[in-house]
Structure 1
Amino acid sequence: MMLTEKLEQLRTLFKEMEQALIAYSGGIDSTLVAKIAYDVLGDRALAVTAVSPSLLPEELEDAILQAATIGISHQIVQTHEMENPNYTSNPVNRCYFCKSELHDTLKPLALKLGYPYVVDGVNADDLHDYRPGIQAAKERGARSPLAEVNISKVEVRQLSQQLSLPWWDKPAQPCLSSRFPYGEEITVAKLQRVGRAEIYLRKLGLKNLRVRSDGDTARIELPPEQIKEFVLTTDLPTIVSAFQKLGFIYVTLDLEGYRSGKLNQVLNRDLSVKA
């Protein structure tokens, strides 16, 4: 199916909804959903951003700016997943409890304000990764227009560029809890530490990156093609010192490089061992 046809299908979905509340993180997926919802529904579309320690302050600033650029009404709510030990103990289905908290907050708000639908930014590619949060959203009646129309991550960027959204090439930025290996307890202090580490690297001009935290060790992930230049041109001792001031003891570089979904490779390995 042509991309223009998928875009028309998205618009038709929102026309049929008549009113919609968008679970809006400020990431490229939910921002595209917010843009199309606003284009179709105008003031009958509302974007809502959930704020918690797992969201970088800079990401919230981006979300506010992008919503204003689109023109869509925007609200901010607080979520409290950090109060749930099922979340902070960081089990393999941690995202289930995160999205449960999110949609248990958004659904009553939508009903209160008269919005019959809560929609999110899940795309077709997300359905092929281990995403327990998708189940939590479905259980609470949320819809995923991008996935319903079979729009991939690449197509999200293509559509965003086609619609002249200046952030069409914005790197993916999942919640900070995804930086920790399953089973390591998540705390506000740890989230802030890894968040500040990533902000530090971004200020050096690096964009598509992760800082994985494993106990006292920080593991920097960069796109594979950038690793050599990073090693040759970056003042590594200064980075080590900066990270140690944040509370890390060891600072390492992942030689494989950044790859989306890398956190889940331990699950695939466990399954192959059991097989």
Structure 2
Amino acid sequence: MQEKYEKLQENLHSLNRVAIGFTGGVDSTFLLKTAVDTLGSENVLAITIDSILLPRKELEYLKSIIEKLKVKHIIVKVKPIEEILENPVDRCYHCKKYIISLMLKTALEYGIKTVVDASIVDDLSDYRPGLKALEEGNIRTPLLDIGFTKKDIRFLSKQLDLETWDKPSESCLATRIPYGTRITEEFLEMIEEAEGFLYSLGVRFCRVRLHRNDIARIETSIGDMEIIMENRDSIISSFKKLGFKYITLD
């Protein structure tokens, strides 16, 4: 484990100055922290692409991480392009390609030529068309190249006293909508408010997935099932007010 960490430091040191795509998740927080410790905060730029696809609670959370790391942070607010809103099977490719173009442009404005992404080995086991966009954009992926897994990063994050070490994995709100269903602001608001209600009950992890435009399928951990069942009636009432007709639990 220590050998991987030292290789990461060597890799980052060779880049001199970097811009890092920052989401506030386990992987990007670990990468950003390591970059700051290795290169100094003056040589690191964190870039967050903000749109209606990013949950508001995640935006506020990542801002709190930035304050603790004391690194320059740029938030680029954009509207998703049509190729993303159409929600094709390769939506993630179009989204990542768009994000990369914005990050490269922003990095150059600050005199930085190298953009680094926090993809890891675990990403290779899922359907991730966005990885193709990283290759096309010549984006550096040191965690992936060195062989870091989520388990590695959680372990090292705990050693570095990062509060994200046990943070549940997050994903953009678009992943809650099935391919082929157009992504609308109305759907995203329904989903985000529904998840927000569940979190307010004390649930630690959840996804509210949209089906047939009016079905909410709640995905949660076994540990959170009890909270869901204890609050069954209030959840049904709240979700129906948001526009869902049927609520299921997975």
CA distance in 1, matches of 2:142, 2:136: 16
* Corresponding residue number in structure 2 for 1:224: 222
CA distance in 2, matches of 1:155, 1:139: 27
* Uncovered stretches (5+) of structure 1, i.e. residues with no partner: 255-275
Please report how far the alpha carbon of residue 66 of structure 1 lies from its aligned counterpart in structure 2 after TM superposition: 0.4
TM-aligned CA distance change 1:231 to 1:17, over 3 Å: closer
CA distance in 2, matches of 1:225, 1:104: 40
TM-aligned CA distance change 1:65 to 1:231, over 3 Å: closer
Please report how far the alpha carbon of residue 226 of structure 1 lies from its aligned counterpart in structure 2 after TM superposition: 4.0
Q: Secondary structure at the match of 1:167?
A: helix
* Corresponding residue number in structure 2 for 1:114: 111
CA distances 1:59-83 after superposition (whole Å, capped 9, x unpaired):
01111110111122111102332x3
Are positions 1:54 and 2:53 aligned together?
yes
* Corresponding residue number in structure 2 for 1:168: 165
Please report how far the alpha carbon of residue 110 of structure 1 lies from its aligned counterpart in structure 2 after TM superposition: 1.4
CA distance in 1, matches of 2:246, 2:224: 21
CA distance in 2, matches of 1:79, 1:103: 13
* Corresponding residue number in structure 1 for 2:246: 250
* Uncovered stretches (5+) of structure 2, i.e. residues with no partner: none
CA distance in 1, matches of 2:249, 2:43: 47
Q: Secondary structure at the match of 1:168?
A: helix
Please report how far the alpha carbon of residue 10 of structure 1 lies from its aligned counterpart in structure 2 after TM superposition: 0.7
Matching residue within 84, 88, 94 for 2:85: 88
Which residue type is aligned with residue 109 of structure 2? K
CA distance in 2, matches of 1:213, 1:26: 25
Task: Tell me the TM-score normalised to structure 1 length.
Answer: 0.87
* Corresponding residue number in structure 2 for 1:74: 73
Task: Tell me the TM-score normalised to structure 2 length.
Answer: 0.95
Identity among equivalent positions (%) equals 40
Are positions 1:203 and 2:200 aligned together?
yes
Are positions 1:235 and 2:231 aligned together?
yes
CA distance in 2, matches of 1:231, 1:180: 22
* Corresponding residue number in structure 2 for 1:270: none
* Corresponding residue number in structure 2 for 1:32: 30
CA distance in 2, matches of 1:193, 1:120: 30
Conserved? CA contact 1:79–1:102, under 8 Å: no
Which residue type is aligned with residue 167 of structure 2? K
Aligned length: 248
